[in-house]
Amino acid sequence: MDVTELKQAAAEHAAQFVESGMVVGLGYGSTAIWAVRQIAERLQRGELRDIVGIPCALKTEIEARELGIPLGTLETNPVIDVTIDGADEVDPALDLIKGGGGALLREKIVAQASRREIIIVDPSKMVPRLGTKWALPIEVIPFGYGSQIRFLESLGAEVQIRQNGEGAPFQTDQHNLILDCRFGPIPDTHMLAEKIKYRTGIVEHGLFIGLATDVIIADANGIQHIQRRQGN
């Protein structure tokens, strides 16, 4: 199986946890979109009824509407039953780095509103320590972003401003910038998260600590489903 087939297999497995009447967080990215499509197919077949989707990104919203998934907002649906999303890295504690697609702010808002956060990945996303493979995305407001670069460098990061396909600075759905910060393997994610969030002008970071309840991994041998232990 190639990577696309693995992503699809993980997404199809996760979509089975969606039940009629649920409020469902719809993730963003090349893996999560397979779950969105699977949910739409289950609606079309009559297996699901009366669900409400809460999209994590404008692109997800557009595709979900085209697929016929009823959508709502967190203002009218403040509690989400289950969210299905992807991740850039997953460590043994089921903590994550997210934001490779630039939707980390909305993804974290949706995750924090979710009773169950199901993360779907292929085996390449599993790491012994966060930061092993991926830079940490950090969303900042455009004003004074240079000072944020210097601050993050003082914490040990190699910082790059994310660019779009035309070579201009990438803009999030909130019209902010993304700084991709390569720390290498992060020894203490909680401490780093606290230092970053304390800084004025930084909107959010891509460390998702204690939010994933389930991780579904698809490999050539099948599906592995890992659940967070209660209290962790």
Distances (CA, A) of 162 to 101, 112, 172, 173, 200: 11, 25, 10, 14, 20
Dihedral sign of CA atoms 215, 157, 184, 169 in order: positive
Give exposure, 107-129, as e/b (b: 16+ Cβ within 10 Å): bbebbebbebbbbbbbeebbbee
Catalytic residues: 107
Output the CA angle 222-68-64, nearest 5 degrees: 60
- Can you tell me which residue has the tokens 């991780």? 215
